[in-house]
Amino acid sequence: MTLAPAPASAVGVPARQDEHREQTAAAPAAPAAPAQPIEQPPVPGPSRDLLASAARELLAAAGTDDTGLRFARAHLAALRAAAAVLAARARPRSGRSARLRSAWVLLAEVAPELGEWAQFFAAGAGKRAAAEAGLRGAVTEREADDLVRDAEAFLARVARVLGVPHQPVLHGQHDQHDQHGQHGLAS
pLDDT for the residue numbered 1? 37
Local confidence band at 2 (pLDDT 50, 70, 90 cut-offs): very low
Report the C-alpha gap between 9 and 4 in whole angstroms.
Answer: 14
Report the C-alpha gap between 79 and 73 in whole angstroms.
Answer: 10
With CA atoms as reference, report the closest residue to 11 among 32, 28, 34: 28
12 versus 95: which is more confidently predicted? 95
Write the CB contacts of 36 (distance below 8 Å, at least 6 apart in sequence).
none
Local confidence band at 149 (pLDDT 50, 70, 90 cut-offs): very high
Q: 87 pLDDT exceeds 90?
A: yes
Q: Residues 90-100: what's their mean pLDDT?
A: 70
Q: 173 pLDDT exceeds 60?
A: no
Window from 14-18, 104-108, 114-118, 137-141 with minimum mean pLDDT: 14-18
> Reduced to 3 states, what is the DSSP secondary structure of residue 76?
helix
How crowded is residue 123: how many other Cβ atoms within 10 Å of its Cβ?
A: 15
Report the C-alpha gap between 46 and 101 in whole angstroms.
Answer: 21
Report the C-alpha gap between 115 and 168 in whole angstroms.
Answer: 22
Q: 24 pLDDT exceeds 90?
A: no
Query: pTM of this prediction?
Result: 0.70
Q: What is the mean pLDDT of the chain?
A: 77
29 versus 53: which is more confidently predicted? 53
Return the DSSP state at 167: -
